[in-house]
Chain A
């Protein structure tokens, strides 16, 4: 029994990290633009698949492969910004939402043609030999995932909390017009937020692929879970996004261990729907409705 619980926790931790990273990517773009990006999962897929080709098949040195995979996803993320971000055009949030869903389908469809429809993986960073702890096993790659996620979360929080650049990015979401009038280059800030977010997604894909494997279609489900985690945590809150990610991974893991593996998505989505219905502001979100208001468009 105790072993089962520990095993379920060991399984939940790395998955929670990945959900948290996707949720952070969603929160990052939301924080700078109020756009909810449903293509966030595709960056994870692109990171993982590029790494499969470069590191797994072409045996490019690992750091170079990581760098190139992140760069590929980042460039596509910045291209997505050019498509989805249209300030002053009075485009409603619904339309932008559909654009990101369309972009998601486009990217995964293209990926199927560039690669194939098979499931891929590449060797773990430091061996596959599980470490046994109190009768439960954890593979070294899980520790990589947990450690790197921890580092990424800390640096993101510091960036927004302690640097003027981070504050300026927040300012763009709070009031685009006022930010521009103060001399902040809003468009460039938004571009940086898309770049950071896609790089974050690609890194998630790179560290998770040896554990979970990846195929062209993995992005959409991840994006929905990342979005839900961000909602549960309170849209726009980084701490909330991380908490949300872990809540979902623990739910899934414990359902799979103690009920049945086939129930795990079912339970997750029941929770998601209830969150959307009964606590749309999430755990760390604003108490009033104000925080989720649609941004005002001034002028044309």
Chain B
């Protein structure tokens, strides 16, 4: 489904990613791990079109998306959440999710501005679909709350609901459990499985090892911008290269 072909990224001379290749198959949950600064978020930014790769190609369902704009990639069915939540802070919960459906509206600016009957029907439909997403995620009761007034955990859920509203086929989660406590993390685990069972492929970056080993069927390990291992959680846990990379980090934590 998603196919990365020797993707590299330089930031004014600094190599953030070097020749990273892997693929993500349909309906799996694939994880990306690696020490801080390994290039995980950079990789996500490239896949979703925040910036283009310096070298290499990315294919999504047979389309080359390496140089597409983020709204074009979103239309093809890729959606994501962020490390820090990027909600529209001053809008309500429901409005945030409705905006996830915005691009599917056909009505143009004037039809919408004049509130023509077709546009009004469409808006009603968007509202209903957004409510379905909120229902599934368990936030329907808080639809009129302002987004940044929600507790952190619920903001994460809201971001997922908003991403789901775009009807993605690939959902990218960037450290989704950061700031969640143990119970919330278990809840989130079930949510991720539920999303996979809907037929959505998931790519996830996460620091919390217990979580990622439980949730993923395949893992890619990055270190200093290079892929150093790929395989099942078991294989990864026993890979000497991975142990070295992580132990190396541990040794540094003397200060």
- Known interface pairs A185-B71, A300-B51. Does A167 touch B123 (Cβ–Cβ under 8 Å)? no
> Cβ of A170 and Cβ of B88 under 8 Å apart?
yes
Which of A142-150, A176-184, A271-279 forms contacts with chain B? A176-184
Pick the residue among B69, B71, B88, B101 that contacts A171 (CB under 8 A).
Answer: B88
Which of A62-70, A111-119, A157-165 forms contacts with chain B? A157-165
A192 contact set on B, CB distance < 8 A = 109
> Cβ of A174 and Cβ of B89 under 8 Å apart?
yes
> Cβ of B88 and Cβ of A181 under 8 Å apart?
no
Residues of chain A from 179 to 196 with CB closer than 8 A to chain B in the complex: 179-186, 192
A174 contact set on B, CB distance < 8 A = 88-91
- Known interface pairs A163-B115, A183-B103. Does A178 touch B69 (Cβ–Cβ under 8 Å)? no
Pick the residue among A88, A158, A164, A177 that contacts B99 (CB under 8 A).
Answer: A164
CB < 8 Å A-B pair total: 97
Pick the residue among A159, A163, A180 that contacts B70 (CB under 8 A).
Answer: A180
Tell me the bound Cα distance from A171 to B86 in angstroms.
Answer: 11
> Cβ of B102 and Cβ of A182 under 8 Å apart?
yes
Interface centre among A167, A182, A291, A298 (most CB of B within 10 A): A182
Tell me the bound Cα distance from A30 to B98 in angstroms.
Answer: 23
Interface centre among A155, A165, A170, A185 (most CB of B within 10 A): A165
Residues of chain B from 96 to 125 with CB closer than 8 A to chain A in the complex: 98-105, 107, 109, 112-113, 115, 119, 123
Tell me the bound Cα distance from A159 to B51 in angstroms.
Answer: 32
Query: What 0/1 readout, one digit per residue, does chain B (3-23) give for beta carbons within 8 Å of chain A?
Result: 000000001000000000000
Does A175 belong to the interface (CB within 8 Å)? yes
Pick the residue among B50, B51, B71 that contacts A183 (CB under 8 A).
Answer: B71
Chain B nearest Cβ from A155, distance in angstroms = 8
Pick the residue among A164, A167, A170, A299 that contacts B50 (CB under 8 A).
Answer: A299
Tell me the bound Cα distance from A125 to B177 in angstroms.
Answer: 63
Does A153 belong to the interface (CB within 8 Å)? no
Tell me the bound Cα distance from A167 to B74 in angstroms.
Answer: 18
Does A138 belong to the interface (CB within 8 Å)? no
Chain A nearest Cβ from B237, distance in angstroms = 33
Does B32 belong to the interface (CB within 8 Å)? no
B70 contact set on A, CB distance < 8 A = 177, 180-181
Does A168 belong to the interface (CB within 8 Å)? yes
Pick the residue among A159, A164, A180 that contacts B126 (CB under 8 A).
Answer: A164
- Known interface pairs A168-B102, A300-B51. Does A183 touch B75 (Cβ–Cβ under 8 Å)? yes
> Cβ of A184 and Cβ of B115 under 8 Å apart?
no
B99 contact set on A, CB distance < 8 A = 164, 167-168, 171, 179, 182, 184
> Cβ of B71 and Cβ of A163 under 8 Å apart?
no
Tell me the bound Cα distance from A10 to B89 in angstroms.
Answer: 41
Residues of chain B from 217 to 231 with CB closer than 8 A to chain A in the complex: none
> Cβ of B98 and Cβ of A186 under 8 Å apart?
no
A185 contact set on B, CB distance < 8 A = 71, 103
- The closest CB in chain B to the CB of A189 belongs to B109
Tell me the bound Cα distance from A165 to B120 in angstroms.
Answer: 12
- The closest CB in chain A to the CB of B108 belongs to A165
B50 contact set on A, CB distance < 8 A = 177, 180-181, 298-299
Chain A nearest Cβ from B35, distance in angstroms = 22
Residue positions of A touching B, CB distance < 8 A: 88, 155, 158-159, 162-165, 167-168, 170-171, 174-175, 177-186, 192, 291, 298-300
Residue positions of B touching A, CB distance < 8 A: 11, 45, 48-51, 69-71, 74-75, 79-80, 82, 86-91, 95, 98-105, 107, 109, 112-113, 115, 119, 123, 126, 162, 166
A-B CB contact pairs (8 Å), 24 listed: A163-B112, A163-B113, A163-B115, A164-B105, A164-B126, A167-B98, A167-B99, A168-B99, A174-B90, A175-B87, A177-B70, A178-B82, A178-B86, A179-B99, A180-B50, A180-B69, A181-B49, A181-B70, A182-B162, A183-B71, A183-B102, A183-B104, A185-B71, A186-B71
* Known A174-B90, A181-B74, A182-B100; 5 more pairs at CB < 8 Å: A171-B99, A180-B50, A180-B70, A181-B49, A184-B99
